[in-house]
């Protein structure tokens, strides 16, 4: 049995040092905790980077210059073996918000001088006591909304600062019961198998076999959150499959579970064509990618909550809509 405590301690110490560091100190922390061949994945406009210097320069230093001081407010923290590679690699996942005072423009999003929350989820692969691989998904569009701008059509779900688990038990700092981990893994796998069998679109009756009726789907800004199976079908799954066609599933890079929690990410998990109507985009034959994270909480024998991150900026840019370009143009005009 693996308890993952060493890897968890490594990541918690890394976060403590990283969140306190400033300026060039950010690079020094990254260099101390990562391998020489460190591979980092981020959402648009950051994409894939190699090594601590590039990650500090491209993401962390500009973000920390714009948001300071920072608080990391974790809602889920877990570790596990990767089911996608036959449990050959060990990963630690953290989900929550990075909160700070938004005092300088970031990605051409105008600063507000007020507190702002960057919703994030991060997967870190630990190899021989260092971080060898990271996937950091963050909800940039939510920051745009917090700045009082709305560059996208009205979303089908609700937008707000996304809460953590209803049960407030998502921070798995201590070892978890392996039998609970297995239950979660089997349930998530069954749900994914059901979706795959149904061409990635289950009806409400099929969904009810693995989801509680009062489930909550916390989608990314631009799509929004929805509550109950009925409203999930009406406010997300229905519009998703009405607006997108030729959807192909490409698998995940990491799929892990611990205790009553689990999740996965892909690069890209899905590709599809926008037949029209989804997020206000016109019909198109362009095949676009969706890089997606799903984090789940199991309650008994069904899933109760689901937090989703999608690189919508990349998805829309592949179809010709550069949302951050709009921010730059707005700043230029003002």
Note down pLDDT in tens along the chain; length 334 residues: 578 999 999 999 999 999 999 999 999 999 999 999 999 999 999 999 999 999 999 999 999 999 999 999 999 999 999 999 999 999 999 999 999 999 999 999 999 999 999 999 999 999 999 999 999 999 999 999 999 998 888 888 889 999 999 999 999 999 999 999 999 999 999 998 887 765 555 567 788 999 999 999 999 999 999 999 999 988 888 888 888 888 898 999 999 999 999 999 999 999 998 887 688 778 888 899 999 999 999 999 999 999 999 999 999 999 888 999 988 877 777 6
Query: Tell me, what DSSP letter sits at residue 154?
Result: P
Cross-strand partners of 100:
116
Query: 106: left (phi > 0), else alpha (psi -120 to 50), else beta?
Result: beta
Amino acid 332: pLDDT:
73
Q: Fold identical between 5-146 and 178-324?
A: yes
Amino acid 152: pLDDT:
86
Three-class SS of residue 265?
Answer: strand
Amino acid 104: pLDDT:
97
CA distances from 160 to 94, 128, 220, 239, 313 (A): 20, 39, 10, 20, 19
Length of the chain equals 334
* Strands across the sheet containing 67-81: 48-50, 34-42, 130-138, 115-127, 90-102, 67-81
Amino acid 62: pLDDT:
98
Cross-strand partners of 133:
39, 125
Q: What DSSP element (H or E) covers 263? A: strand 261-265
Three-class SS of residue 268?
Answer: coil
| Side-chain half-sphere exposure of 260, counting CA atoms within 13 A | 17
Q: At what angle do helices 5-20 and 24-33 cross, to 10 degrees?
A: 170
Q: Which fold has domain 5-146?
A: Nuclear Transport Factor 2; Chain: A, (3.10.450)
Amino acid 284: pLDDT:
83
Amino acid 203: pLDDT:
66
C-beta atoms surrounding 292 within 10 Å? 20
Torsion of the alpha carbons at 291, 295, 300 and 304, rounded to the nearest 10:
-80
Amino acid 244: pLDDT:
87
Amino acid 334: pLDDT:
65
The CA distance from 211 to 305, in Å, is 9
pTM listed for this prediction: 0.95
Instruction: For residue 38, give the nearest of 70, 60, 20, 21 by alpha carbon.
Output: 60
CA distances from 214 to 207, 235, 301 (A): 12, 14, 14
Domains of the chain, by residue range, sit at 5-146, 178-324
Amino acid 276: pLDDT:
73
> What CATH architecture applies to the domain 178-324?
Roll (3.10)
């Amino acid at each position: 049995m693996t308890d993952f405590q060493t890897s968890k301690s490594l990541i918690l110490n890394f976060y403590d040092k990283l969140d306190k560091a400033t300026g060039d100190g950010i690079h020094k922390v990254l260099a101390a905790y990562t391998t020489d061949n460190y591979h980092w994945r981020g959402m648009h406009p950051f994409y894939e980077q190699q090594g601590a210097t590039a990650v500090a320069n491209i993401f962390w230093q500009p973000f920390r210059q714009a948001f300071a001081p920072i608080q990391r407010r974790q809602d889920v923290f877990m570790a596990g073996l990767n089911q996608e590679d036959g449990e050959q690699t060990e990963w630690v996942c953290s989900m929550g918000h990075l909160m700070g005072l938004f005092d300088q423009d970031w990605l051409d999003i105008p600063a507000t001088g007020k507190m702002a929350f960057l919703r994030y989820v991060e997967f870190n692969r630990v190899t021989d006591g260092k971080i060898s691989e990271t996937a950091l998904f963050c909800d940039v569009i939510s920051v745009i909304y917090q700045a009082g701008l709305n560059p996208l059509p009205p979303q089908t779900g609700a937008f707000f600062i996304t809460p953590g688990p209803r049960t407030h038990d998502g921070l798995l700092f201590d070892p978890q019961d392996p039998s609970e981990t297995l239950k979660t893994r089997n349930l998530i796998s069954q749900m994914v198998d059901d979706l795959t069998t149904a061409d990635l679109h289950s009806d409400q009756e099929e969904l009810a076999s693995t989801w509680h009726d009062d489930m909550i789907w916390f989608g990314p800004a631009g799509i929004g959150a929805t509550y109950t199976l009925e409203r999930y079908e009406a406010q997300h799954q229905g519009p998703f499959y009405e607006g997108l066609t030729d959807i192909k599933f490409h698998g995940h890079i990491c799929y892990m579970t611990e205790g009553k929690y689990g999740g996965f990410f892909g690069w890209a998990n899905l590709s599809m064509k926008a037949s029209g109507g989804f997020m206000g985009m016109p019909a198109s034959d362009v095949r676009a990618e969706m890089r997606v994270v799903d984090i789940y909480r199991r309650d008994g024998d069904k899933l109760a909550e689901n937090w989703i991150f999608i690189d919508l900026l990349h998805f829309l840019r592949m179809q010709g809509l550069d949302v951050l370009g709009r921010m730059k143009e707005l700043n230029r005009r003002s």
